[in-house]
Amino acid sequence: MLALRIFLAILIFTGLKSILLKYRVLAGFNYFDFALILTVHQSLHPNLYRAMFTGAASGLAQDLIQGVSKLMGAESFTKTFIGYVLSVISGRFRLENPLVRMFVLVVCSAVNSWTYAFLHLYFSVVPQGMSVKQVGITCGWEALANFLGAIVLFPIFDRIFKEAPYDPTRGGDLPRRKF
Amino acid sequence: MKPTESQNRAPIVFIALLVAQLLTMSLHARAQAQQQSLSRTALLAVLYPLQKGTAWVTSGIGGVWYGYLNLRGVRGENQRLQAEINRLQQERMLVQEEVAAARRYRELLKLKESVGVPSVAATVIGRDGNPWYQQIVIDQGLIAGVRLYQIVITPQGVVGRVVGVGPTCAIVQLITDGTSGVGAMLSDSRVNGELKGRNGPQCQLASITGLVNVREGEAILTSGLEGWYPKGMLLGYVSQVQLGSGAALHQITVQPAAQLDRLEEVLVLLAKPPDIQITESVKK
């Protein structure tokens, strides 16, 4: 059921962004990365599969619907990577605190921007203007747009993806955390 | 607490996912030599229904939401009168929208008749969400006769060219795209240069010697020298000039004539430059 909710959220929000971009409703809206915010939100819990598949699916949706870019799979790669690594980290540290997760999102946004640029460099398909300085500027704008977007979206996701509390009678592992 | 077998397999699944994505990227990067790859055709085949579907769903949700907002708080007679006013206002807006659409279609039809080559009108159904590229998706593809590198125009001016084609949709690279380059010339002095995209709202006209007179507002036309665009089509207007000298080139900023940030309908020319004979009415 949770997977279905994630799938629907990916479809609706990615499609919505595509349409809003078409009509240019808000300046700088193209810097806002819904897929990253969703991936980070789902990766704050130590569930590796959920984190990486949310990252892969939301990135793939971006590659398909919005990113008619020249490097198919780049968005999916970065989100899968971020999802997995963040989920591993969240197994050790508690990251659900509202302030901590905003900080984590900004860091992930920067990682996302630089990994995306690195993949273009690695495959020798660097678009014109993608210099280190320009990637830095874009990274800043994306971090700001994602931060503002997450202020709205994180509480919405908290409600949409609310899980039942841990029930010891049903067995299963509790997250192993040091803090 | 020992990790479960499923948890042990997670890194393997993770690496498999990354390898699959790297392979996908590798395939696309190899198809960069301006060729239409099979994977891109497949991608475009699934792209169209996805975009159409999401547009339909989101506009439906928007309609229900606005309907709820419009009716909320209306009571009794006020409700009836308000609804009547709303209905009339909506009708007026619809009529205005239809008049605007009819005007656009009329201009497009006029252009279609004047270009002198087979062409197909298309609606813009998507835009690239990536800040590094300036591309749009249109709702006509291979079935309608659209092929790679065909030119896309509006009554205002050149939009760009087709860089990817699916069965029912196509990707158009705008002239403002950072990887776009168009042979261009100044309308007054007829000096040739290259119009380069900058991934922003404006372009740059490069390779114009500082010895030539350039004025703001001067029209920039296609030169046809690069072989993709026919000669004499309007690209844009000079918006800013940093004058060069005998040794330095002019730094010329160009505002595209077509309103690339609000494209709705475009015309795809179904022929390539040697076959395109642009009539005088289209030439500026």
Which tokens hold the place of A66? 């919005």
Radius of gyration of chain B (CA): 24
**Domain residue limits at A48:** 32-159
Task: Tell me what pLDDT residue A144 has.
Answer: 92
Is the pLDDT confidence value at A164 over 50?
yes
CA distance B204 to B65: 43
pLDDT in tens, A105-131: 999 999 999 998 888 888 877 776 678
Comparing CB atoms, the residue among A48, A68, A128 nearest residue B135 is A68
Q: Does A93 touch chain B (CB under 8 A)?
A: no
In a domain, A166, yes or no: no
Q: Do A71 and B25 touch (CB under 8 A)?
A: yes
A41 and A79 Cβ atoms separated by less than 8 Å: no
For residue B113, the one-letter residue type is E
Q: Which of A69, A70, A77, A112 to mutate to test the interface with B (most CBs of B within 10 A)?
A: A70
Name which of B17, B22, B130 is nearest A67 (Cβ-Cβ).
B130
User: Residue with structure tokens 């002095």?
Assistant: B189
DSSP code per residue over B38-69:
HHHHHHHHHHHHHHHHHHHHHHHHHHHHHHHH
Helix then strand then coil, % of chain A, to nearest 5: 70, 0, 30
User: Which residues, including other chains, have CB under 8 Å from residue B160's CB and lie 6 or more apart?
Assistant: B151, B152, B172, B173, B174, B175, B177, B180
CB A18 within 8 A of CB A65: yes
In this predicted structure, the answer to whether residue A167 has a pLDDT above a threshold of 90 is no
Q: Which residue has the tokens 């350039």?
A: B214
Contacts of B199 in chain A (CB under 8 A): 127-129
Chain A partners within 8 Å of B53 (Cβ): 15
Integer Cα distance of B156 and A87 in angstroms: 51
- Chain B contact present for A64, CB below 8 A: yes
**Residue A18 is assigned to a structural domain of this protein:** no
- The alpha carbon of residue A162 is apart from the nearest alpha carbon of chain B, in Å, by 23
**What pLDDT sits at residue B70?**
64
A151 in a structural domain: yes
* Cα B189 from Cα B178, distance rounded (Å): 26
Whether A128 is covered by a domain: the verdict is yes
Do the chains contact at A127 and B178, CB–CB below 8 Å?
Answer: yes
B198 interaction partners in chain A (CB closer than 8 Å): 128-129
User: What residues contact B228, with CB distance under 8 A and at least 6 apart?
Assistant: B149, B151, B161, B182, B183, B272, B273
Hey, what are B257's tokens?
């004539």
Q: In this complex, which of B17, B32, B124 lies closest to A125 when CB atoms are compared? A: B32
Residue A86 pLDDT:
92
Q: Cα distance from A29 to chain B (closest Cα, Å)?
A: 9
Check CB contact of A66 with chain B, cutoff 8 Å.
yes
**Confidence (pLDDT) at B282:** 47
Looking at residue A67, the DSSP 8-state letter turns out to be -
Instruction: Give the pLDDT of residue B239.
Output: 92
Task: Determine, yes or no, domain membership for A54.
Answer: yes
Count chain A–chain B contacts defined by CB atoms under 8 A.
Answer: 149
Is the Cβ pair B24, A18 closer than 8 Å?
A: no
Interface test with B, best of A11, A18, A68, A125 (most B CBs within 10 A): A68
Task: Say yes or no to pLDDT of A177 above 50.
Answer: yes
Residue of B132, B136, B176 to mutate, testing the A interface (most A Cβ within 10 Å of its Cβ): B132
Looking at residue A5, what is its pLDDT? 84
User: Chain centroid to CA B82: how far?
Assistant: 40
* Chain A residues lying within 8 Å of B4, measured CB to CB: 173
Instruction: Quote the CA–CA distance of A52 and B24 in Å, as a whole number.
Output: 17
Cβ–Cβ below 8 Å for B127 and A15: no
CB contact under 8 A, B50 and A64: yes
CA distance A18 to chain B (A): 6
Residue A130 placed within a domain:
yes
Task: Tell me, yes or no, whether A125 lies in a domain.
Answer: yes
Q: B181-186 and B192-197: which strand pairing?
A: antiparallel
* Number of domains making up chain A: 1
> Could you tell me if A18 lies within 8 Å of chain B, comparing CB atoms?
yes
Q: Residues A63-87: what's their mean pLDDT? A: 81
Say whether residue A15 is in contact with chain B using an 8 A CB cutoff. yes
Whether residue A13 lies within 8 A of chain B, CB to CB, comes out as no
pLDDT at B164: 85
Instruction: Write the DSSP symbol of residue B266.
Output: E
What is the percentage of chain A residues whose pLDDT exceeds 70? 80
List of chain B residues with pLDDT < 50: 34, 281-284
What pLDDT score does B229 carry? Answer: 85
**A34-43 and A132-160 helices cross at what angle (nearest 10)?**
60
* Residue A2 lies inside a defined structural domain of this protein: no
Instruction: DSSP letter for B188, please.
Output: T
